[in-house]
Structure 1
Amino acid sequence: MRPVELPRRVRSVLGRIRRLPRLPRTRRGRRRAVQVVMALCVLGLLPATWVHLRADGRVRTVADVPSAPVAMVFGAGLIHGHPTPYLAHRLDTAVELYRRGKVRVVLVTGDNSREDYDEPDAMRAYLVRHGVPDRRIVSDYAGFDTWDSCSRAERIFGVRKAVLVSQGFHIRRALALCEAAGIESYGVGVSEPHDETWIYGGVREILAAGKAAVDLTFRPDPRFLGPRENGVAKALTTP
């Protein structure tokens, strides 16, 4: 019988496991190794705990979220220039908030770091197609990550109070970061089936919480600050 050949990716992972450092042979060494691992686990969970506590009580539904001048919709990728299903669901929620009179302006914040990739314009086009007037939409083209989006919303666009829109696994981190940026925030978590993407997003949030703590500590400014803009103020006062 011929031996079963494992897929290349599996062989690669097994090779990395074999190269991992082995536990010390002495009892004292093993105990020290376990203590180090436990300490790293605790340190890794501290940012996630901070995110959870900071957002406690601020995740609502479209029906019961307090009104705010602005809804913030975070980018979530494009496929051939159009919003991914997850991003489309966020935008659908923003449309519903606008229709119910919960918000008066929608700030779409995303990545436009390349000429061939423009999240904010794709988000704007989607909102307009679904009934949000173009004059009620403001675009932030340098929302490269959640911290950039929150920091720029307050420092560049003058947002002081907002309803944040994202998937449930991301909304707590968005709330924690926008609150830290000085924005009084409530969030609407978009429900999704617990598919592979949802599971990946949930696991990723544990690591992203650590990045959020690092950003707040060592990167108080967004990657691109730029001059102050009056787009939100103008959209709020335009008839």
Structure 2
Amino acid sequence: MRERQPGRAARWPGRLRRPWPRSRRGQRRLVQAVMIACVAALAPATWMHTVADARVRTTADVPARQVAVVFGAGLMKGRPSPYLANRLKTAAELYRNGKIEVVLVTGDNGRADYDEPDAMRTYLREHGVPDERIVSDFAGFDTWDSCVRAKKIFGVDRAVLVTQGFHIHRAIALCRTAGIDAYGVGVDAVRDATWYYGGTREVFAAGKAALEAVFKPDPHFLGPRENGITEALAAERP
């Protein structure tokens, strides 16, 4: 008669051990470790909101500034995505209401067939912003790059930032770190799958933003100083 093989529990008894510590000291240390991990994970988001909360405004109550910075948010068939279109509409509204004088559009033009800033410029022109009042940053590859380049390349000292509500705190925090006296307008958006994805992404992006604020890395591309903002401000407003 064939001898019966032992079951998994008999062959690997160690696998059935409970991971929870048996001693009270071990349990206390585990709870403390979990609490420390939670605090560490939430600290960057807490920092962002502390720095930015009082500077998030609406189009009606945001302080007037000469420059608005609009961050890229993707294209669809060469045109601004719905999320980017909402940002640009808000910037055009700020311009019409006299809250801003110039719009700096900053986005990705890392390859020949993908040009966010030119698409953003076209959209703004279609919505009443004169071409001479629009300045393009073609190397705004992420939020930190856009903020640093706005300050160092375009000479922006004070600005209104325009982006979605889930992104506005990070944008304000990073631009203030880069040396810009920034207020922000969080654009209303339909809470679809993209909105929830963006909100979830910000939880992880907060950690990267905190590191950028501490170490202040150079952007992917810096380049020479540009006079686009100065020239746009000097242009006669229609």
- Choose from 156, 162, 173 the match for 2:153: 156
Distance 2:46 2:89 in 1: 30
Matching of residues 193-208 of structure 1 within 5 Å: 193-208=190-205
Identity over aligned pairs, percent: 67
In the TM superposition, residue 145 of structure 1 has moved relative to its aligned partner by: 0.7
Matched residue, 1:228: 225
In the TM superposition, residue 229 of structure 1 has moved relative to its aligned partner by: 0.6
Q: Which moved more, 1:195-204 or 1:52-61?
A: 195-204
Q: Which moved more, 1:163-172 or 1:32-41?
A: 32-41
Q: Report the residue type matching 1:78 in the other structure.
A: L
| CA deviation vs aligned residue, 1:174-220 (integer Å, no higher than 9, x gap) | 01111111111111110112222212211211111111011122343
- Choose from 192, 198, 212 the match for 2:189: 192
In the TM superposition, residue 29 of structure 1 has moved relative to its aligned partner by: 4.5
Distance 1:217 1:102 in 2: 32
What is the RMSD of the two structures over their aligned residues, measured on CA atoms? 1.4
Distance 2:114 2:164 in 1: 22
- Partner SS for 1:62: coil
Matched residue, 1:67: 64
Distance 1:24 1:117 in 2: 52
Q: Report the residue type matching 2:19 in the other structure.
A: L
Contact 1:23–1:30 (CA under 8 A) maintained in structure 2? no
Matched residue, 2:10: none
Distance 1:199 1:127 in 2: 27
- Choose from 102, 107, 119 the match for 1:105: 102
Matching of residues 118-137 of structure 1 within 5 Å: 118-137=115-134
Matched residue, 1:3: none
Matched residue, 1:90: 87
For structure 2, list consecutive stretches of 5 or more residues without a partner in the other structure. Answer: 1-17
Matched residue, 1:4: none
Distance 2:20 2:59 in 1: 54
For structure 1, list consecutive stretches of 5 or more residues without a partner in the other structure. Answer: 1-21
Distance 1:31 1:110 in 2: 49
Q: Report the residue type matching 1:158 in the other structure.
A: G
Q: Report the residue type matching 1:23 in the other structure.
A: P
In the TM superposition, residue 129 of structure 1 has moved relative to its aligned partner by: 1.2
Matched residue, 1:139: 136
| CA deviation vs aligned residue, 1:88-139 (integer Å, no higher than 9, x gap) | 0000000000001110100000111111111111101111111111110000
Distance 1:133 1:157 in 2: 19
- Choose from 167, 170, 175 the match for 1:173: 170
Distance 1:84 1:184 in 2: 28
Matching of residues 8-23 of structure 1 within 5 Å: 23=19
- Choose from 35, 46, 52 the match for 1:49: 46
Bigger-Rg structure (1/2): 2
Cα distance change on mapping 1:228 and 1:35 into 2, 3 Å: same
- Partner SS for 1:55: helix
| CA deviation vs aligned residue, 1:151-192 (integer Å, no higher than 9, x gap) | 110010000111100111111110111111111111111011
Matched residue, 2:75: 78
Q: Which moved more, 1:103-112 or 1:197-206?
A: 197-206
Asked if 1:39 is matched to 2:36, the reply is yes
- Choose from 194, 208, 213 the match for 1:211: 208
Calculate the TM-score normalised by the size of structure 1.
Answer: 0.87
Distance 2:231 2:37 in 1: 48
How many residues of Structure 1 are paired with residues of Structure 2 in the alignment? 218
Contact 1:153–1:159 (CA under 8 A) maintained in structure 2? yes
